[in-house]
A and B are shown apart, each in its own frame.
Chain A
Amino acid sequence: MTKSTTRTGAGLQGRDRLAFLLVLVPYLIEHEQVSVADAAEHFGVNESLIRESVTLIAVSGVPGETSAYQHEDLFDIDWDLFEQRDQIVLTRLVVIDDSPRFSAREAAALIAGLQYLSALPGSSDDEVIGSLMSKLAIGASGRPTEVAVAASPATAALVPVRDALAQRRELSFDYLSADGRTEHRTVDPLRVESLDRDWYLRGWCHLRQAVRTFRLDRMSRVEIGENQAQHGADDLSVPSDFFQPSASDLTVTVDIDTAALPMIAEFFTADSQVREEGGRSLVNLRLGHVHGFKRVVASLGGLAEVTDPGTAREEVAAWASEALAGYGL
């Protein structure tokens, strides 16, 4: 809620707020008396949004027979409880007594999310997922929009990693790092996250004595340890971004056809700068290491050129050249 209201213009803000008013009313009907704090926690929004919304609901209603918005045509609340004790009690209702249906797109978003979950090992069984999908379709005001997610094979390590997180136990595995070396690691699991097809574990690494991110398909010989994990998600904060900028990051400049910029958009960071010049763009990107970046440039098949630094150019050239040698070229 708060996220989307800050992002776009006034129109969407008003629309989002309307959507919230329409769900807050049935919630307040369901709860004869509820504190502002509890309502905010239940919906995961700021208390100020609850207070503003309740204040608006309390003075809203229908034009009524006289078209004059008479007192009896409006919602009302117990103002003393609200203003003095931050408690909400609806004392008069108008028209609304139920939750609204889902929109076609809202139902589709949840259904596609369920499709993605259903392919994961250890998710709810197909029957539960199927029943939820049909309930969402029945509960939508239109046929859910045509959005679907295909099942893709999950990496073998997902089951033990997820179990270690649930049991709060240490996890150990061999980890293949980006430069091709394999190291044995022991980690207290904090979060297990996926991004599309890739799965990541964020955990407290005993070797590095810091929070690190591990890709599950780079793990082998995964074992759940005997020891309870010393750290959990509740006592260590996990940054929301997978990759944190660090002093050792390399800044490279890429020359790319302006039209093809969206294809490297996922590597943009907050401090990326784009300079346009005659249909081409020069972009500064901050990257963890050049080993990863040479792959990105090579996968763009000639659409992009690294202009700076020279060492990064050489890395890319050597990467392509070594690959061609494999074909005897």
Chain B
Amino acid sequence: MFESQRATTPRVPVEERLFSLVLALLASEQGLTKSEILSTVQGYRQKFVRGGDNTSLERQFERDKDDVRELGIPLETVEPPGETGNNQLLRYRIPKGEYDLPAEVVFSPAEIAVLSLAGAVWREGSMSDESQRALHKLRSLGVESSDPLIGYAPRLRTRESAFGPLNSAMDRRLEVSFDYLKPGAEHARRRRVAPLALVQHEGRWHVHGIDRDAEAPRTFLLSRILGAVVTTRRSFTEDNAGCAERALADLRALYEGQCALLEVRANTEAERRLVTRALERAEVPLRVHYTDVNVFADELAGYGPEVRVIEPAALRDAVIERLRRTLANHGPQERAAREETR
């Protein structure tokens, strides 16, 4: 199986090739050149043609390199001194010190239990995959978790399909583009954005970034991104350290700066939802903060007659406008007119 020359090339599974690549690069202190990798590492060497055309094998290696880096493995490229620009002499390596979990990072059984609960928070999607892998790494330390409370399951959703691509683009520092239906608008518009942070505020996911058309910071609701997020090849250079905390602080300031006065019917869905967020639970009418007038108007319109906006006027008008559109859509005349045109 390990002879380098064979009449028939055995098919080496992807994970075996990737595992062999990581082991080879970890073992080599000065690094390996691409041609050394392709000619000697298990999974490549079987397909390597000495002195021939290895273009597709090289592409395979490029993809594998990306896969390895996606897992957070520090696969480095080293240029030999005095030989800058010569791709053939580039060396690849994984420095052991950057790969190993630092010795001072240790976790107690109680800490493992808390982290397991934190990892289980993600119900689906890329965050769930990421935390699953992180929990496997934690478990590889061999520390048993102390007993968690069975049946206690705090969960966060990242249902929006935009979340995964945005998180990945942010990590790879690549700009994205997407169609965005701004709250209150009727038509979507294409946006080009350098994604700097993903934050959840008031139960909604937002991406904060630089809008390339406006060249200014903007925050978008993920639920209003329509269609697919396209990851471009354009990288961005903005430093985003601390961006998530700042974006949350901005949203919090917006939230605290706006307050609605609402008349809410007792013992209704609207009351139960709004009371938790009210400044004073027992007050009549209720005072409730909000972040965006259009997003809040959507929510309030959903409560129908259970809530009436006293002020501000802009929120009141926005709710009335939505209710009118809904009524117009569902009136008997509207139905008849549609039937005729179909």
Q: Which residues of B contact A102 (CB under 8 A)?
A: 72, 101, 134, 137
Interface residue from B17, B122, B171, B247 paired with A113 (Cβ < 8 Å): B122
Interface residue from B96, B272, B304 paired with A217 (Cβ < 8 Å): B272
B276 near A141 with CB under 8 A, answer no
Alpha-carbon separation in the docked complex, A176 to B271 (Å): 11
A22-B22 CB under 8 A given contacts A109-B134, A142-B72, A302-B322:
yes
The smallest beta-carbon distance between A18 and chain B, in angstroms, is 4
Q: 28 A-B Cβ contacts within 8 A?
A: A21-B15, A30-B142, A56-B19, A57-B19, A63-B40, A94-B23, A97-B100, A100-B137, A101-B74, A106-B131, A107-B134, A109-B134, A110-B115, A117-B118, A117-B121, A128-B114, A139-B102, A145-B170, A146-B170, A148-B199, A153-B277, A196-B157, A218-B272, A260-B226, A296-B302, A298-B326, A302-B328, A325-B305
A residues at B contact (CB < 8 Å)? 1, 3-4, 10-11, 13-24, 26-27, 30-31, 42-43, 56-57, 59-63, 67-69, 94-110, 112-114, 116-117, 120, 124, 128-129, 132, 135, 138-143, 145-150, 152-153, 155-156, 162, 165-166, 176, 178, 180, 182, 189-197, 215, 217-218, 232-234, 259-260, 262-263, 265-266, 294-302, 304-307, 313-314, 316-317, 319-327, 329
B33 at the interface (CB under 8 A from A): no
Interface membership of chain B positions 130-166, coded 1 if the CB is closer than 8 angstroms to chain A and 0 otherwise? 1111101101111000000111111111011100000
Residue picked from B71, B118, B128, B268, most chain A C-beta under 10 Å: B118
A306-B330 CB under 8 A given contacts A94-B23, A109-B130:
yes
A150 near B302 with CB under 8 A, answer no
Alpha-carbon separation in the docked complex, A67 to B45 (Å): 10
A323 near B272 with CB under 8 A, answer no
Q: Is the interface of B mostly helix, strand, loop or mixed?
A: helix
A301-B167 CB under 8 A given contacts A128-B114, A324-B324:
no
A299 near B298 with CB under 8 A, answer yes
Alpha-carbon separation in the docked complex, A78 to B107 (Å): 30
Alpha-carbon separation in the docked complex, A295 to B300 (Å): 9
A178 near B269 with CB under 8 A, answer yes
Which stretch from B80-88, B210-218, B238-246 is at the chain A interface?
B238-246
A153's nearest neighbour on chain B, judged by CB, is: B276
Interface residue from B23, B159, B248, B320 paired with A61 (Cβ < 8 Å): B23
Alpha-carbon separation in the docked complex, A195 to B70 (Å): 28
Alpha-carbon separation in the docked complex, A152 to B330 (Å): 36
The smallest beta-carbon distance between B29 and chain A, in angstroms, is 11
A326-B326 CB under 8 A given contacts A23-B139, A147-B244:
no
With A113-B119, A146-B240 known, 18 other A-B pairs at CB within 8 A are A23-B139, A27-B140, A56-B16, A62-B27, A102-B101, A112-B200, A113-B117, A114-B114, A116-B156, A141-B74, A141-B98, A147-B199, A150-B248, A217-B272, A262-B226, A263-B223, A316-B330, A319-B304
B2 near A105 with CB under 8 A, answer no
Q: Which residues of A contact B297 (CB under 8 A)?
A: 301
A105-B140 CB under 8 A given contacts A120-B154, A306-B330:
no
Alpha-carbon separation in the docked complex, A192 to B308 (Å): 33
The smallest beta-carbon distance between B3 and chain A, in angstroms, is 8
Alpha-carbon separation in the docked complex, A98 to B73 (Å): 13
Alpha-carbon separation in the docked complex, A192 to B102 (Å): 36
Q: Which residues of A contact B200 (CB under 8 A)?
A: 112, 148-150, 196
Alpha-carbon separation in the docked complex, A249 to B119 (Å): 34
Interface residue from B101, B241, B272, B316 paired with A100 (Cβ < 8 Å): B101
* 8 tightest A-B CB contacts, nearest first: A103-B72, A302-B325, A299-B302, A14-B14, A113-B118, A301-B322, A148-B244, A17-B15
B78 at the interface (CB under 8 A from A): no
B194 at the interface (CB under 8 A from A): no
B323 near A99 with CB under 8 A, answer no
B323 near A320 with CB under 8 A, answer yes
The smallest beta-carbon distance between B169 and chain A, in angstroms, is 10
